[in-house]
Amino acid sequence: MKILAVDVGTGTQDILLFDSDKEVENCYKLVLPSPTVMLAQQIRAATQQGVGVVLSGVLMGGGPCAWAARDHAQAGYPLWVTPDAARTFDDDPARVEALGATIVGEDEAAAINGQAVHLTMGDFDYRAIAAAFARFGVDLDHDLDAIAIAVFDHGNAPPGVSDRLFRFEYIETRIQTRNSLTSFAFPAEHVPPMMTRLEATARTARAARPDLPVLLMDTAPAAVLGALEDPRVGQTRPAIVANIGNFHCLAFRLGPTNDDPAGGIEGVFEHHTGEITPAQLEGYLRRLAQGDLSHTEIFDSNGHGAVMFAHHAIPLEFLSITGPRRNFLRGSALNPYLATPFGDMMLAGSYGLIRAYTTVRPDWGEAIDQALQGQGGKSLW
């Protein structure tokens, strides 16, 4: 069984070609620039050349590409964007146009020529990934059983509703629906319509490989789920496991598993990494352990929110962290354990995606479990 798992972040896209017939450490992997970083480079190159930019495609992650597009327009160069692609910058077309962009239909965009560069937006470029593997003799087109992709999604908040609040209410609802990290994973055909970035990525993947099942998942739960493949993290309860990403920091408090090692979620909070100091983060983690962290405390400091499902205190004896900014807590008095599933922190989200397939496709569970536990290993699941 071979599954292509792609964890799309702000800085990198972390790619694992999982093969159940191999030792996990021997599976092929790539850590490459993220799609938003690559698109930003292309837009900035157009700015330097003094030519217009036409953006088509689908909603994708913003950040670097949005900043590059804004700078391009502010430099006085034309920026055309199709309606679906424009949602990358904002769900409100008026706010997109306020950035200096002109929203045009698909046909009109395709007809623009002359001094303009046409660029395609999207979080998943199957053809580019397949070509990279093909250079090393790996044929994804004829030897692949499934695709799994993780992206961060604020969702499509109704007018007047905070994006931060909308996302966190979604997180709370998913846990209430099924208390498991795997509740954030969906087959492509079952992605909630309000999660527009997940839905756009699902469409892109299915268009590229309509013959394969596709799984979508939020990045932070995928990374925490993958961190549980580190034996020390997976076998320790109670515990707090945090993913410190480039833009967002999310921490789960995990208690008794109730026969689901990805379950037992007793509390969670999410904040913007750039809006907090290490000391503040330590304080939030201590409050999460004490059981009295409030939603208001997080939201009013420009975070997404917090919810406690259990209010009793637990000893903060085990804090595990993962994510590209895990050095944020370097030297912390909390003495965090750096999760390294299969010796590779950068692939935590990809391992989480593989593990999530055992819930979406229970018939694959035994093969995936045997591969992840290894020869003579003890399954944490």
**pLDDT tens-digit map of 165-209:** 999 999 999 999 999 999 999 999 999 999 999 999 999 999 999
| Confidence band for 379, pLDDT divided at 50, 70 and 90 | very low
Q: How far apart are CA 379 and CA 367, in angstroms?
A: 12
| Confidence band for 362, pLDDT divided at 50, 70 and 90 | very high
Of 303, 307, 312, residue with least CA distance to 293: 307
| Confidence band for 381, pLDDT divided at 50, 70 and 90 | very low
pLDDT of residue 3: 98
| Confidence band for 260, pLDDT divided at 50, 70 and 90 | confident
- pTM for the structure as a whole: 0.95
| Confidence band for 377, pLDDT divided at 50, 70 and 90 | very low
Please calculate the CA angle 99-100-105 and round it to the nearest 5 degrees: 105
Q: How far apart are CA 373 and CA 23, in angstroms?
A: 9
Q: Which helix (H) or strand (E) holds 146?
A: strand 146-151
Q: Considering only the C-alpha atoms of the chain, give the largest distance between any 2 of them, rounded to a whole number of Å.
A: 65
| Rg, C-alpha atoms of the chain | 21
For 140, 203, 267, 290, 361, the CA distances from 310, given in Å and listed in that order, are: 45, 38, 7, 10, 30
Domains of the chain in start order, with CATH, are: 231-339 (3.30.420)
Q: How far apart are CA 57 and CA 81, in angstroms?
A: 9
Percent of the chain scored above 90 by pLDDT? Answer: 93
Res 258 pLDDT > 90: no
Tokens for 231? 């034996």
| Confidence band for 256, pLDDT divided at 50, 70 and 90 | confident
Q: Which amino acid is at 120?
A: T
Grouping H, G, I as helix, E, B as strand and the rest as coil, residue 188 is: helix
| Confidence band for 347, pLDDT divided at 50, 70 and 90 | very high
Helices 348-360, 219-227: inter-axial angle, 10-degree rounding = 90
Q: How far apart are CA 376 and CA 381, in angstroms?
A: 15
* β pairing state of 239-244 and 248-254: antiparallel
DSSP labels, 228-281: TTSHHHHT-SSEEEEEE-SSEEEEEEE---TT-TTB-EEEEEEEEGGG--HHHH
pLDDT of residue 314: 95
Cβ pair 328, 273 in contact under 8 A:
yes
Res 92 pLDDT > 70: yes
pLDDT of residue 375: 41
- Segment 138-151 mean pLDDT: 97
Of 354, 120, 153, residue with least CA distance to 247: 153
Q: How far apart are CA 345 and CA 341, in angstroms?
A: 6
